[in-house]
């Protein structure tokens, strides 16, 4: 059995940042697997176009574009409430929305990408969006998952090399924080039937999210940009009952080839957590 064979009928998901890039790709894959999906995005027009591409076809679940600013707690609660009203309580939350290095790179007050020369307002906005926004969405969705006795929180983060790359704060800082959120929340959720895992593409992805600096670094290193489709196989598996009891783990999309059997794909994609807990912690 391959990940493309997974069916998610009667499941309900919210994918943030679903209007473009990896979020769009993952949300559409879930819809095609039969899942009812809310495409949550600040750009509701882009999310609507993404819905139109995937839904209303044989075997697909229902899909809806919902405007959502994940930095606004009330917006997150409204999105979860709207999902429950229209489709039923959410089973799956994919925390994909965020701001990347480009947000700081393009900020008016940024002189360079060294932390002391970065626009402080833009720097703070990245942390607010990536870290606090991920918390707001998860806080809103988790109680409904716990009440149902089953759920998935999937946090999209980034490679260890990216987290600690020079001139890559606050993005690297924010993704390291989300890795910590994953590890802590997985423990908080023990015994509830709800899991929390991290998913990364495994390199810079060919989307508008990638900064000029990251593109140039990839070119210098002879590493072609990845495509968003590397996220499809692992997100389908993480959203299914096949991943029951798998929590606090980290998976790398590019290592899971589409033609792999699920068991081989899981083994290939699993990576050690960014933060390793000491044995006696």
Query: What are the domain boundaries of the chain?
Result: 3-269
Q: What is the mean pLDDT of residues 160-174?
A: 91
Could you give the CA distance from residue 13 to residue 35 in angstroms, rounded to a whole number?
Answer: 7
Q: What is the mean pLDDT of residues 183-198?
A: 98
Summarised one tens digit per residue, pLDDT across range 19-43 is 999 999 999 999 999 999 999 999 9
Structure confidence at residue 281 (pLDDT) = 44
Q: Which of 186, 11, 193, 155 is nearest to 90 (CA)?
A: 11
Cβ-in-10-Å burial (0-12, 13-18, 19+) of 115 comes to middle
The CATH number of the structural domain formed by 3-269 is: 3.40.50.720
Structure confidence at residue 224 (pLDDT) = 80
Structure confidence at residue 276 (pLDDT) = 67
Could you give the CA distance from residue 132 to residue 205 in angstroms, rounded to a whole number?
Answer: 23
Summarised one tens digit per residue, pLDDT across range 245-267 is 999 999 999 999 999 999 999 99
Report pTM: 0.93
Q: What is the mean pLDDT of residues 120-136?
A: 97
Beta carbons of 238 and 260 less than 8 angstroms apart: no
Say what the alpha-carbon torsion angle 105, 134, 180, 192 is, to the nearest 10 degrees. -170
């Amino acid at each position: 059995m391959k990940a493309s064979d997974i069916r998610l009928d009667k499941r309900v998901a919210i994918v943030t940042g679903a209007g473009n890039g990896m979020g769009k790709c993952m949300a559409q894959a879930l819809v095609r697997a039969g899942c009812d999906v809310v495409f949550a995005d600040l750009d509701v027009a882009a999310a609507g176009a993404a819905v139109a591409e995937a839904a209303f076809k044989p075997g697909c679940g229902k899909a809806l574009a919902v405007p959502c600013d994940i930095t606004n707690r009330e917006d997150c609660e409204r999105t979860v409430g709207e999902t429950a009203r229209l489709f039923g309580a959410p089973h799956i939350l994919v925390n994909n929305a965020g701001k990347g290095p480009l947000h700081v790179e393009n900020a008016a007050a940024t002189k360079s990408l060294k932390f002391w020369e970065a626009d402080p307002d833009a720097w703070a906005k990245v942390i607010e969006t990536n870290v606090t926004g991920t918390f707001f969405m998860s806080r809103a969705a988790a109680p409904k998952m716990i009440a149902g006795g089953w759920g998935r929180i999937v946090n999209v983060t980034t490679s260890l090399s990216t987290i600690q790359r020079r001139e890559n704060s606050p993005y690297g800082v924010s993704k390291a924080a989300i890795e910590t959120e994953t590890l802590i929340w997985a423990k908080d959720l023990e015994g509830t039937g709800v899991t929390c895992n991290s998913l990364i593409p495994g390199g810079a992805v060919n989307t508008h999210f990638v900064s000029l600096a990251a593109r140039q670094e990839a070119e210098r290193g002879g590493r072609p940009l990845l495509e968003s489709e590397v996220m499809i196989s692992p997100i389908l598996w993480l959203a299914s009952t096949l991943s029951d009891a798998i929590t606090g783990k980290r998976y790398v999309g590019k290592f899971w080839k589409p033609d792999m059997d699920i068991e081989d794909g899981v083994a290939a994609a699993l990576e050690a957590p960014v933060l390793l807990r000491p044995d006696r912690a």
